[in-house]
């Protein structure tokens, strides 16, 4: 039996009587569990496609396979790329031909030459130059962290890419797997499957507004914005920077795509390979960091500039890439965090004025220290035209700006759409709760971002994404309105006009009443099985494809809060507010814990949501896991609880923090310091379900998951007080 090594694609002959079910690849040393591998049945070496005789398969991918073949007419060896016939619709066929057309325009010694594209008996093929060697990914396995070889290869690749750019072709998918290295160590660029031709703005793929094209681990931040049509030469330079980083540091600069987005959105400096591998030369570190700058204007402006700097490094000359100065880092941070900067300056000025006044003769009497919460200073507000569609169309839409002070929708500042969807509406910049309602009663409540500038950087997630459509106009992601039956199986809560939240005697849990709107709540946390079913079979970007558990019925954890919000919206839900959580977990305010008032020991391990548990709400049958299977993200922000006057320290902007509820008595050890964790655990035992922890929105924890909620009816300005979007009491949906 033959299988392919998943690491190096070497063909392995295995003995299927081996009890261990594992074989060792002689080429790369990988231990391959062949009982779980896909068996590869190779075509006969005599098979003929047109004038080409297939010799052996040399590559495999999602598109199909690449074969070493003999051109019987011209008597030369070629690489024959064959897409799978059963996957080839009209659009795929068009893309396949366009790849050949893009590469055929390029004549450079280090770009794989395309000889012809044809179709024989329904089988499409591309015949191109055969490179006797391996991919750069495989090559790197045998030349780990060899800076001299890495620089030589990247210098040559950068020159080849510059030639492509000069011909108006942007590759957009540069990665080690798309760079071939022959036995002499010479690199060749291949696979122009999603290339773009600048001269005519023709995209060699079916790109659409909001599409993310490329390989996430190697794509630039501007590609990740969802409009790959606007990627230019500097996007390829970023990809080359990632490849260089990986070759000299032994790993990529970011473990996940989402971490990259968080990093650059926070205005942080480009990552340093020297911080990972101390032996990296400082000059090479500067070259790599310049290529990896988040803003295209800060990178090398041409691939030739990058190639020249790599050549200077190889010859021992000074490189042109300069280290980022401290004042530049400060300026970038200030630009990204203007509101927090203004608030900090005002705070320092206020403290200075207070200190001066206390030293004045007329203020010699003893002073009593007081603390008051000051709302964060807001960045300059701009107004843009927002384009929005719903599926189905014809919805009335309300836009509720989220208050920076309370973290709640500002009902007094709500904006009703002037037209039904699809619509255009002038809105001020900010973060919004958007409520879309159809005439038949179907609705959805989602979040959307209106930027200060249409060209600002943004995430790929729906609630933080937009597409620039003009100098002062943006298109927001379409809102898909679910059917009425989306709440089937959830538990319904009828709400309360004055539910008391908080805990007497705890200064930061001031008791106060909030209105609770009727809402639905899921019986248990979202599981791996549910998440992947609603995400095209893939785990979150923050987790990666190789970390899924064997039991997919356990809650999914280890993802960002924003990923949970994104998934919940796609499924037709939202995250519960902390008031909704507290209402449910205290049995409408009657108990300390979901199961009553007794403190019981709960396991810290994640278990199947179908398993029997003591963590069951006594008033709401079927509601489980609020205090086990990890803590849970809520849709509430890290704003003061109750009276704002009692908050003395602001660590971040309120909207940069999220409230965590539940969990096995606050078992968030990895997110809190030892002393802080001890205090939280002690207070959790005392306050039960009324306790809260606020953590940064970019927190990743194997102890935090989420469950979904949904309002019974859409939020309407005239029906609810300005203090809430909250929660409810029992009855089960049909």
- pLDDT for 101-147, tens place per residue? 777 788 899 999 989 888 888 788 889 999 998 889 888 877 767 88
Classify residue 44: in a domain, yes or no: yes
**Cα 472 to Cα 464: distance, rounded to the nearest angstrom:** 17
Tell me the range of 117-126, 478-487, 678-687 where mean pLDDT is highest. 478-487
**Cα 194 to Cα 218: distance, rounded to the nearest angstrom:** 14
**In 3-state terms, what secondary structure has residue 170?**
strand
Would you place residue 35 in the very low, low, confident or very high pLDDT band (cuts 50, 70, 90)? very low
Residue 308 has pLDDT above 90, yes or no: yes
Q: Are residues 305 and 419 in the same domain?
A: no
Classify residue 378: in a domain, yes or no: no
Classify residue 574: in a domain, yes or no: yes
Sign of CA dihedral 562, 401, 458, 637: negative
For residue 644, give the nearest of 404, 461, 363 by alpha carbon: 404
Q: Are residues 569 and 706 in the same domain?
A: yes
459 contacts: CB under 8 Å, gap ≥ 6: 224, 261, 265, 465, 562
48-57, 83-92, 559-568: segment of lowest average pLDDT: 83-92
Tens digit of each residue's pLDDT (9 = 90 or more) over 586-613: 999 999 999 999 888 787 788 999 998 9
Whichever domain contains 14, its CATH number is: 3.30.200.20
Q: Are residues 186 and 114 in the same domain?
A: no
Q: Name the domain boundary from 452, 481, 510.
A: 481
Give the DSSP H or E segment for 491.
strand 491-493
Catalytic residues: 173
Mean pLDDT of 535-563: 83
Classify residue 374: in a domain, yes or no: no
Q: Name the domain boundary from 481, 512, 528.
A: 481
Classify residue 716: in a domain, yes or no: no
**In 3-state terms, what secondary structure has residue 430?**
strand
Give the pLDDT confidence score for residue 356 in this predicted structure. Answer: 43
- Range 52-88 burial, b when 16+ CB lie within 10 A, else e: bbbbebbbeeebbbbbbbbbeeeeeebbbbbbeeeeb
Do 397 and 434 touch, CB atoms closer than 8 A? yes
* Residue 171: domain span: 134-330
For residue 429, give the nearest of 456, 397, 406, 408 by alpha carbon: 456
16-30, 268-282, 340-354, 696-710: segment of lowest average pLDDT: 340-354
Distances from the Cα of 637 to the Cα of 410, 430, 634, 688, angstroms: 14, 15, 8, 20
Q: Are residues 260 and 230 in the same domain?
A: yes
Do 558 and 542 touch, CB atoms closer than 8 A? yes
Tens digit of each residue's pLDDT (9 = 90 or more) over 557-596: 988 899 999 999 999 999 999 999 999 999 999 999 999 9
**Which residue(s) pair with 391 in the sheet?**
480
Classify residue 300: in a domain, yes or no: yes
**In 3-state terms, what secondary structure has residue 638?**
coil
Tens digit of each residue's pLDDT (9 = 90 or more) over 625-653: 998 888 899 999 887 776 443 333 334 45
Classify residue 455: in a domain, yes or no: yes
- C-alpha triplet 97, 217, 310: angle, nearest 5°: 90
Q: Are residues 74 and 106 in the same domain?
A: yes
Would you place residue 29 in the very low, low, confident or very high pLDDT band (cuts 50, 70, 90)? low
Do 8 and 25 touch, CB atoms closer than 8 A? yes
Give the pLDDT confidence score for residue 234 in this predicted structure. Answer: 92
**Cα 237 to Cα 334: distance, rounded to the nearest angstrom:** 26
Classify residue 515: in a domain, yes or no: yes
**Cα 139 to Cα 237: distance, rounded to the nearest angstrom:** 21
Residue 719 has pLDDT above 50, yes or no: no
Indicate the angle between helix axes 338-359 and 326-336, nearest 10 degrees: 100
Q: Are residues 665 and 620 in the same domain?
A: yes
The residue to which tokens 């949970």 are assigned: 564
Number of domains, the chain: 4
Q: Are residues 69 and 98 in the same domain?
A: yes
Do 137 and 217 touch, CB atoms closer than 8 A? no
40-49, 172-181, 340-349, 460-469: segment of lowest average pLDDT: 340-349
The residue to which tokens 């992947």 are assigned: 532
**Cα 5 to Cα 28: distance, rounded to the nearest angstrom:** 9
Would you place residue 540 in the very low, low, confident or very high pLDDT band (cuts 50, 70, 90)? confident
Q: Are residues 144 and 23 in the same domain?
A: no
Decide which of 50 and 4 is more confident.
Answer: 50
Sign of CA dihedral 156, 160, 161, 165: positive
DSSP secondary structure code for residue 614 in this structure = S
Of all residues in the chain, the percent with pLDDT exceeding 90 is: 38
Whichever domain contains 626, its CATH number is: 3.90.1580.10
Residue 723 has pLDDT above 50, yes or no: no
Whichever domain contains 223, its CATH number is: 1.10.510.10
Q: Are residues 404 and 307 in the same domain?
A: no
């Amino acid at each position: 039996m033959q299988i392919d090594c998943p690491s190096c694609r070497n063909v392995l002959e295995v003995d299927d009587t081996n009890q261990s079910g594992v074989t060792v690849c002689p080429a790369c040393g990988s231990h391959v569990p062949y009982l779980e591998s896909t068996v590869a049945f190779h075509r006969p070496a005599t098979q003929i496609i047109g004038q080409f005789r297939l010799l052996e398969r040399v590559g495999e991918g999602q598109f199909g396979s690449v074969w070493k073949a003999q051109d019987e007419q011209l008597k030369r060896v070629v690489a024959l790329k064959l897409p799978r016939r059963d996957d080839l619709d009209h659009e795929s066929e068009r893309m396949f031909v366009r790849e050949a057309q893009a590469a055929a325009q390029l004549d450079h010694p280090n770009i794989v030459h395309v000889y012809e594209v044809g179709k024989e008996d329904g089988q499409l093929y591309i015949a191109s130059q055969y490179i006797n060697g391996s991919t750069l990914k495989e090559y790197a396995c045998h030349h780990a962290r060899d800076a001299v070889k890495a620089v030589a290869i990247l210098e040559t690749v950068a020159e080849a890419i510059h030639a492509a750019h000069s011909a108006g072709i942007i590759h957009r998918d540069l990665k080690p797997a798309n760079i071939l290295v022959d036995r002499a160590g010479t690199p060749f660029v291949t696979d122009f499957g999603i290339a773009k031709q600048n001269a005519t703005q023709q995209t060699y793929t079916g790109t659409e507004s909001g599409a993310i094209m490329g390989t996430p681990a190697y794509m630039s931040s501007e590609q990740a914005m969802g409009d790959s049509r606007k990627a230019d030469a500097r996007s390829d330079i970023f990809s080359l920077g990632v490849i260089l980083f990986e070759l000299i540091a032994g790993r990529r600069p970011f473990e996940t795509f989402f971490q990259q987005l968080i990093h650059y959105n926070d205005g942080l400096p480009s990552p340093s390979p020297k911080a990972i591998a101390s032996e990296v030369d400082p000059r090479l570190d500067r070259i790599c960091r310049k290529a990896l700058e988040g803003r295209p204007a800060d990178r090398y402006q041409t691939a030739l500039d990058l190639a020249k700097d790599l050549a200077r490094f190889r010859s021992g000359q000074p490189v042109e890439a300069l280290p980022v100065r401290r004042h530049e880092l400060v300026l970038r941070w200030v630009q990204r965090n203007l509101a927090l900067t203004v608030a900090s300056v005002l705070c320092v000025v206020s403290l200075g004025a207070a200190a001066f006044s206390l030293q004045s003769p007329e203020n010699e009497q003893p002073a009593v220290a007081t603390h008051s919460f000051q709302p964060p200073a807001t960045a300059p507000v701009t107004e843009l035209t927002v384009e929005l569609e719903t599926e189905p169309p014809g919805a009335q839409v309300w836009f509720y700006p989220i208050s920076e002070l309370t973290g709640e929708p500002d009902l007094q500042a709500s904006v009703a759409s002037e037209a039904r969807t699809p619509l255009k509406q002038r809105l001020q910049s900010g973060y919004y709760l958007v409520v879309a309602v159809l005439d038949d009663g179907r609705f959805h409540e989602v979040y959307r971002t209106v930027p200060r500038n249409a060209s600002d950087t943004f995430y790929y997630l729906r609630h933080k994404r937009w597409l620039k459509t003009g100098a002062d106009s943006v298109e927001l992601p379409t809102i898909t309105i679910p059917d009425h039956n989306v709440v089937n199986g959830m538990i319904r809560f009828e709400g309360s006009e004055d539910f008391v939240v908080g805990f007497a005697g705890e200064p930061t849990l001031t008791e106060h009443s909030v209105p609770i709107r009727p809402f639905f709540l899921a019986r248990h946390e979202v599981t791996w099985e549910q998440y992947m079913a609603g995400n095209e079979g893939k785990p979150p970007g923050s987790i990666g494809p190789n970390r899924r558990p064997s039991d997919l019925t356990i809650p999914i954890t280890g993802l960002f809060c924003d990923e949970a919000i994104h998934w919940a919206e796609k499924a037709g839900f939202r995250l519960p507010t902390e008031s909704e959580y507290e209402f449910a977990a205290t049995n409408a305010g009657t108990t300390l814990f979901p199961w009553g008032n007794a403190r019981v020991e709960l396991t810290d391990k994640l278990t199947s949501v179908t398993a029997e548990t003591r963590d069951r709400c006594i008033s709401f049958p079927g509601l489980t896991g609020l205090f086990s299977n990890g803590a849970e993200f809520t849709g509430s922000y890290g704003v003061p609880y109750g009276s704002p006057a009692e908050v003395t320290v602001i660590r971040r902007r309120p909207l940069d923090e999220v409230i965590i509820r539940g969990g096995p008595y606050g078992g968030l050890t990895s997110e809190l310091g030892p002393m802080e964790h001890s205090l939280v655990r002690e207070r959790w035992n005392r306050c039960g379900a009324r306790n809260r922890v606020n953590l940064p929105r970019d927190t990743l924890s194997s102890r935090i998951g989420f469950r979904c909620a949904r309002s019974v009816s859409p939020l309407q300005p005239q029906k609810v007080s300005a203090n809430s979007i909250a929660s409810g009491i029992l009855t089960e949906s049909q």
